[in-house]
């Protein structure tokens, strides 16, 4: 039985208070493959009330109990891996191979990282005669995006559970089916009644209601900076904590001592992964001016290996982008790059040859990009790379930092000491040296308009805790 038209509230699958539907579009076909119910303030009220009622008991559970719960969730998640991959591929167009190897994998490894972090986490410490206690913040609202659906759901739900919080989750209405499967996983794992609740719907009718709700103690949001500002304003009247992971325009500085062929080729792949729909994608590649033309030739060759096509095909590297809105935005910015005088190295406007249906974008590389062009300042969220020449290292660092964003940065150098010195000067929450493996124990979050707070492992648990000082507690013993 499908639960696409239901919400999960207070331990049961329930119908919406006011029936309304949202079609879920397969971006490869531009056709609806299912529909979900659209929630309202009344549904949010029910979910928040359930979470509030469950909080006193769940917040007092032991660390051992919460570890056991997370381990059951991990087992249930692993059992549904193929279902999740199929859903992600349909709802956001990810090639099945990528959905299995990256999208499903991300949720699993974040569960594993949270379990390990909770095993080692200390919720109390003694400072003189004062006992410092870290306690669950309360009922939390979790609003997650469509581009890495399981990654972001798990990065919020798992640490919230680890901290002892109860919650209401609103997945993206663009890619909601994987979120419904996740709710089924929570049921299979035996999450106590009211601890986890799911309400689907759009931002104004559900997301903003969660953010402004007086019985919600914290909201954790991942999405665009524009939407994050709306959420923060909605939350302000009730002075609740707001954790945000927002947009990015991440620089990738290729230093003169880098292995150039490898650095440029890997930079193209990192930019294009997930069809370019990653907030921390290295979309601005800075290369020494003297080697700019060489970089363009390498990037062109690398980009043209990225086969765009049907997500179900084994040889597809890039699927479609997620929606008509996203496709139109990307096309507008590609046209802006051309009109502003950047060199179109490969790709360009329109669909790839042979594809006349679906939100497919041609993998695009621009060269001779000047700092300040639209393609070097706006978050495109598609497979579009801008290559900017620099005369010296100071110029590269200055222009890399000259952005409203600060989520991630990348540095390539064969001299690790050199790379570390540059990293110290970059204003970003994560700095990646020489394309390292994804570290699910590293803090993840941004500076400036890329957000606040940090996710992953113990960093995520900390965000869902309040700190209490019990003064005059006495000596530890």
Closest by alpha carbon to 197, among 218, 170, 221?
170
Q: Both 72 and 204 in a single domain?
A: yes
Q: Are 239 and 119 part of one and the same domain?
A: yes
Give strand ranges (E) for 173-307. Answer: 196-198, 218-222, 241-245, 251-254, 284-288
- Same domain for 279 and 347? yes
Cβ neighbourhood burial of 385 (10 Å; 0-12, 13-18, 19+): buried
Is the distance from CB of 128 to CB of 461 less than 8 angstroms? no
Same domain, yes or no, for 318 and 172? no
Question: Which two three-digit tokens encode residue 2?
Answer: 């499908």
Q: Are residues 301 and 426 in the same domain?
A: yes
Residue 71 domain flag:
yes
| Residue 2: predicted pLDDT | 86
pLDDT score for 475? 83
Residues 17 and 145 both lie in one domain: yes
Q: Which residues contact 51 (CB under 8 A, 6 or more apart)?
A: 139, 166, 167, 168, 194, 195, 197
Residue 371: inside a domain: yes
Query: How many independent structural domains does the chain possess?
Result: 2
Report DSSP state, residue 256. Answer: T
pLDDT along the chain (477 residues), means of 10: 93 98 98 98 98 98 98 98 98 97 98 98 97 98 97 98 98 98 98 98 97 98 96 97 97 98 98 98 98 98 98 96 98 98 98 96 98 98 98 98 98 98 98 98 98 97 98 85
Catalytic residues, by residue number, are 245, 279
Residues in a beta bridge with 430: 408
Pure H helices in 8-101: 41-59, 63-79, 81-92, 96-98
Quick one: 268 and 231 in the same domain?
no
Give residue 88's domain range: 7-246+450-470
CATH number of the domain residue 397 falls in: 3.40.309.10
Distance of CA 63 to the CA centre of its chain: 27
CA distances from 29 to 87, 284, 359, 360, 409 (A): 15, 31, 8, 10, 35
Asked if residue 133 and residue 25 are part of one domain, the reply reads: yes
Closest to 370 measured CA to CA, from 383, 385, 389, 384: 389
Residues 335 and 236 in one domain: no
Q: What is the CATH number for 115?
A: 3.40.605.10
What's the start-to-end Cα distance of the chain, in Å?
54
Q: How far apart are CA 284 and CA 377, in angstroms?
A: 9
Residue 477's pLDDT is: 63
Which pLDDT score, from 0 to 100, does residue 1 have? 65
Asked whether residue 230 is domain-assigned, the answer is yes
């Amino acid at each position: 039985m499908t639960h696409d038209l239901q919400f999960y509230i207070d331990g049961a699958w329930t119908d919406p208070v006011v029936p309304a539907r949202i079609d879920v579009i397969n971006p490869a076909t531009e056709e609806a493959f299912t529909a979900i119910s659209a929630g309202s303030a009344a549904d949010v009220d029910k979910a928040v009330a359930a979470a509030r009622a469950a909080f006193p008991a769940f917040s007092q559970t032991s660390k051992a109990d919460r570890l056991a719960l997370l381990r059951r969730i991990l087992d249930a998640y692993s059992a549904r891996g193929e279902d999740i991959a199929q859903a992600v591929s349909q709802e956001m167009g990810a090639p099945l191979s990528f959905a299995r190897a990256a999208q499903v994998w991300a949720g699993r490894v974040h569960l594993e990282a949270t379990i390990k972090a909770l095993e080692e986490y200390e919720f109390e410490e003694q400072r003189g005669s004062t006992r410092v206690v870290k306690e669950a913040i309360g009922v939390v609202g979790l609003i997650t995006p469509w581009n890495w659906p399981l990654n972001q759901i798990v990065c919020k739900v798992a640490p919230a559970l680890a901290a002892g919080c109860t919650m209401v989750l609103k997945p993206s209405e663009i890619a909601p089916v994987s979120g419904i499967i996740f709710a089924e996983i929570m049921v299979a794992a035996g999450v106590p009644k009211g601890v986890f609740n799911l309400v689907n719907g759009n931002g104004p009718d559900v997301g903003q209601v969660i953010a402004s709700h007086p019985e919600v103690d914290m909201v954790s949001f991942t999405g665009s900076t524009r939407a994050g500002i709306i959420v923060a304003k909605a939350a302000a009247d009730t002075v609740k904590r707001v954790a945000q992971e927002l947009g990015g325009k991440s620089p990738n500085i290729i230093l003169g001592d880098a292995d150039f062929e490898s650095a440029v080729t890997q930079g193209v792949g990192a930019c294009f992964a997930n069809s370019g729909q990653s907030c921390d994608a290295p979309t601005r590649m800075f290369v020494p001016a003297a080697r700019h033309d060489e970089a363009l030739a390498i990037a062109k060759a690398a980009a043209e290996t990225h086969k765009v096509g049907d997500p179900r095909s084994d040889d597809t590297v890039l699927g479609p982008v997620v929606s008509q809105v996203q496709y139109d935005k990307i096309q507008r910015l590609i046209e802006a790059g051309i009109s502003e005088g950047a060199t179109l190295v490969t790709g360009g406007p329109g669909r790839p040859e042979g594809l006349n249906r679906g939100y497919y974008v041609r993998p695009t590389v621009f060269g001779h990009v000047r700092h300040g062009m639209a393609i070097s300042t706006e978050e495109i969220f598609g497979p579009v790379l801008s290559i900017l020449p620099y005369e010296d290292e100071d110029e590269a660092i200055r222009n890399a930092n000259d952005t409203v964003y600060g989520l991630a940065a990348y540095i390539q150098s064969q001299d690790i000491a050199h790379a570390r010195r540059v990293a110290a000067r970059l204003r970003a929450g994560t700095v990646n040296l020489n394309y390292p493996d994804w570290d699910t124990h590293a803090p993840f979050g941004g500076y400036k308009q890329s957000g606040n707070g940090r996710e992953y492992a113990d960093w995520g648990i900390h965000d869902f805790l309040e700190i209490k000082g019990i003064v005059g507690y006495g000596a530890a013993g």
